[in-house]
């Protein structure tokens, strides 16, 4: 009679492949410990790329950002309008076309810029004043620690939900309240980084990649920058 092999906390029958064999082993842990390990791995990483959607205050943002501790760069789309963000240290730059600047509602609800300002702003990297309300709003998209701390949270009782695969990488899935509190896929290869997050309450889905992959944050050239000098039309 075929004996049962004890593997961690799982019982694997003879002839059945242990899904955690050859992995980093986090799949054998309870959900609470998996979450603790993946958060620790994310916090220790020097860089990451995240892309997907985030719903906040009733508005959907599509993000494709590369982030590290001192800034980030990438694209954000909201209400069909796409703009580029780049932050190096405390210097934040925003680049968008005429449609963004002249939008009737303004990205932040102010009514948009007048025709002269639109022509001046379009296609330029606009330096966002630190005292402008837009600075806090947009710089948050470039803040790796702030984003990860706010995003990598599941709500409710944690549990594991089997072995899956993301972009060819085996993962263990953990859930909050059986999925209604969100789901998080954690890599079973190498460092247990989070690879995919489905936020609670249909608040967006994000994928994470290029963990620890360094990239250069280079400020735009001087002739590409426009210092608007007063409150932006989007604030």
More reliable by pLDDT, 2 or 20: 20
152 lies in some domain: no
Residues of the chain with pLDDT > 90, as a percent, come to 64
160 lies in some domain: no
Band of pLDDT at residue 233, cut at 50, 70 and 90: low
Q: What is the mean pLDDT of residues 123-149?
A: 91
91-96/194-198 β-pairing: unpaired
* Partner residues linked to 86 by β-bridges: 73, 93
The rounded distance, in Å, linking the Cα atoms of 104 and 98 is 12
196 lies in some domain: no
211 lies in some domain: no
Q: What is the pLDDT of residue 104?
A: 38
The rounded distance, in Å, linking the Cα atoms of 140 and 85 is 10
Give residue-wise pLDDT tens across range 74-103: 999 998 899 999 999 999 999 998 888 886
pTM of structure: 0.84
Comparing CA positions, the residue from 203, 205, 93 lying closest to residue 138 is: 93
Please give the residue range of the domain that contains residue 140. 49-147+217-227
56 lies in some domain: yes
Mean pLDDT of all residues in the chain? 87
Residues of the chain with pLDDT > 70, as a percent, come to 86
Print the SS3 string covering 110-138: CCCCCHHHHHHHCCCEEECCCCCHHHHHH
Cα first-last separation, the chain = 72
Give residue-wise pLDDT tens across range 153-166: 899 999 999 999 99
38 lies in some domain: no
Give residue-wise pLDDT tens across range 99-124: 888 863 444 434 556 777 788 888 88
What's the total number of domains in the chain?
A: 1
**Do the Cβ atoms of 90 and 188 come closer than 8 Å?**
no
9 lies in some domain: no
In degrees, to the nearest 5, what angle opens at C-alpha 57 toward C-alphas 60 and 102?
A: 60
Give residue-wise pLDDT tens across range 156-211: 999 999 999 999 999 999 999 999 999 999 999 999 999 999 999 999 999 999 99
Tracing tokens 């590290």 back to the chain, one arrives at: 68
95 lies in some domain: yes
């Amino acid at each position: 009679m075929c004996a049962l092999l004890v593997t961690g906390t799982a019982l694997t029958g003879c002839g059945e492949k242990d899904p955690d064999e050859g992995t980093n082993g986090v799949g054998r842990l309870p959900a609470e410990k998996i979450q603790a390990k993946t958060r620790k791995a994310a916090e220790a990483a020097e860089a990451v790329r995240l892309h997907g959607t985030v719903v906040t205050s009733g508005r959907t943002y599509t993000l494709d950002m590369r982030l590290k501790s001192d800034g980030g760069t990438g694209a954000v789309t909201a209400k069909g309008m796409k703009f580029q963000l780049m932050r190096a240290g405390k210097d934040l730059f925003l680049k968008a076309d005429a449609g963004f600047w002249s939008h009737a509602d303004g990205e932040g609800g102010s009514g948009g810029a007048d025709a002269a300002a639109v022509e001046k702003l379009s296609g330029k990297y606009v330096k966002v004043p630190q005292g402008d309300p837009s600075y806090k709003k947009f710089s948050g998209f470039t803040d790796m620690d702030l984003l990860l701390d706010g995003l990598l949270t599941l709500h409710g009782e944690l549990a594991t939900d089997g072995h899956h695969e993301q972009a060819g990488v085996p993962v263990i899935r953990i859930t909050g309240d059986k999925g209604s509190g969100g789901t998080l896929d954690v890599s079973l290869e190498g460092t247990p980084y989070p690879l995919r997050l489905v936020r609670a309450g249909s608040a967006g889905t994000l994928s994470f990649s290029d963990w620890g992959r360094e990239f250069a944050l280079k400020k735009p050239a001087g002739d590409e920058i426009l210092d608007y000098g007063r409150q932006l039309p989007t604030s």
